[in-house]
Amino acid sequence: MDLESLGWSPFFGEAFEAYREAGFVPLRVVAHQGNLYTAIGEDGEFSGRMRYECAQMGDFPAVGDWIVAKINPENGTMFIRAVLPRRTKFTRARLNKGAYVGEQVVSANVDVLFIVIGLDQDLSIGRIQRYVAQATPSGAEIVIVLNKSDLCKDTDEFVVSMKEVVGGVPVIISSAMTGEGLDEMLSHLERASTGSLVGISGVGKSTLINAILGDGQLKTGEVREHDSKGRHTTTHRQLIILPNGAMLIDNPGMRGMGLDGAEEAVSGMYEDVEAIMRQCKFRNCQHVTEPGCAIKDALASGTLSKDRYRSYLQFQKELLVRSYGKKYRSRIRSEVSRAMKRREESLKKMRNG
């Protein structure tokens, strides 16, 4: 397999130069199970573990990552020396007993993130909006896939109101059963580009990949791995090469999008913003016109970036709206929107940030 077909580009080549002399090779991670990684490159498929220290959770290799590896072609093993810088990364908050402990990279170097939602589920525009908000910093193109259309005939109204909320994000109606929408998904993926399917379990991510692969193929097939002691283990390949030369990453065993479990911990994710808020002079400060507002000061001095504050407000808005019953939601939503607008206007008045 040549590297370009796996998504290699000068961006990675440049970062890899420092390692070339020392006999390392670049490989792309296609699966991992715990600390055992499987990756492919010019000389085939290898598996092994990391041999470097991770300062943070985000330094661990993820599926889609390009790693710097020393391979042993004799027995198919390798060890990982480093992870090359990522073009894009989709992360989720990692919680420990409800407390935010860091960002974990779910998939790396993805060109298109397909947010898959099951039309047979309890549909919530707010939830989809949060998924989009979570996916936006990844740097990948975002596409919403509403799957299982065969189970749900009447989606028009929902789709129309959702499109208003998510702005220009493409929405695909699909069915892994009837094949609806699969070509449209593929149209976002050219040769050597990488897509990743995210969404809670049961929405049909694996079934969609299998349907795209077509029948008869060994689908989300097993890969043989050799652990450090040479034993064979098997795991599911997560990065799959499609017939058109594009790649798709499945994210099996991802119970939530990261946000579901993190909802209560949203405040934990915005510890920095909330620490600043506690310094406002008034406890009920709205951070708009009040004197002694620490948020305004932090925004003005650049200690708090406007983008970070905006994303905090967005989360707050959704949480607030959701905490009300259906009956009041639309009223609350417009009220909250007005409050957001006032904050937005006061943000605009500030010069830097």
Among 29, 176, 304, 321, binds ligand GDP (CB under 6 A): 176
Half-sphere exposure of 128 (CA within 13 A, CB side): 28
> Tokens standing for 99?
């407390």
Contact partner at residue 151 from Zn ion, ligand GDP, none, CB < 5 to 8 Å by partner kind: ligand GDP
Binding mask 261-290 for Zn ion (x = CB under 5 A): -------------------x----x-x---
Least distance to ligand GDP from the beta carbon of 201, Å?
4
146 vs 295, which CB is nearer to ligand GDP? 146
Among 40-48, 142-150, 237-245, 299-307, which window interacts with ligand GDP (CB under 6 A)? 142-150
Q: Is 208 helix (H, G, I), strand (E, B) or coil?
A: helix
Q: Is 82 helix (H, G, I), strand (E, B) or coil?
A: strand
Least distance to ligand GDP from the beta carbon of 177, Å?
4
Location of structure tokens 């490989």: 27
* Diameter of the chain measured on Cα atoms: 70
Binding mask 177-196 for ligand GDP (x = CB under 6 A): x-------------------
Among 11-19, 55-63, 171-179, 264-272, which window interacts with ligand GDP (CB under 6 A)? 171-179
Among 121-129, 148-156, 313-321, 336-344, which window interacts with ligand GDP (CB under 6 A)? 148-156
Q: Does 147 bind ligand GDP (CB under 6 A)?
A: yes
78 vs 211, which CB is nearer to ligand GDP? 211
Least distance to Zn ion from the beta carbon of 92, Å?
30
> Tokens standing for 353?
């940030």
Q: Does 293 bind Zn ion (CB under 5 A)?
A: yes
Q: Can you give the three-state secondary structure of 104-159, one letter per residue?
A: EEEEECCCEEEEEEECCCCCCHHHHHHHHHHHHHHCCEEEEEEECHHHCCCCHHHH
Contact partner at residue 285 from Zn ion, ligand GDP, none, CB < 5 to 8 Å by partner kind: Zn ion
Q: Is 336 helix (H, G, I), strand (E, B) or coil?
A: helix
Least distance to Zn ion from the beta carbon of 247, Å?
47
Count of positions on this chain that bind ligand GDP (CB under 6 A): 14
Q: Can you give the three-state secondary structure of 247-284, one letter per residue?
A: EEECCCCCCCCCHHHHHHHHHHHCHHHHHHHCCCCCCC
73 vs 214, which CB is nearer to ligand GDP? 214
Nearest-CB residue to ligand GDP? 204
Within 300-339, the residues that bind Zn ion by CB under 5 A are none
Contact partner at residue 91 from ligand GDP, Zn ion, none, CB < 5 to 8 Å by partner kind: none
- Is there a contact between 61 and 37 (Cβ–Cβ < 8 Å)? yes
Give the separation between CA 217 and CA 73, rounded to whole angstroms: 27
Q: For residue 30, give the nearest of 89, 108, 114 by alpha carbon.
A: 108
178 vs 279, which CB is nearer to Zn ion? 279
Give the separation between CA 268 and CA 301, rounded to whole angstroms: 23
Among 203, 285, 321, 347, binds ligand GDP (CB under 6 A): 203
Least distance to Zn ion from the beta carbon of 294, Å?
6
Q: Does 346 bind ligand GDP (CB under 6 A)?
A: no
CB atoms within 10 A of CB 275: 11
Angle between helices 294-301 and 306-322 in degrees, nearest 10: 140
Residues near ligand GDP (CB under 6 A) are 147-148, 150-151, 175-177, 201-207
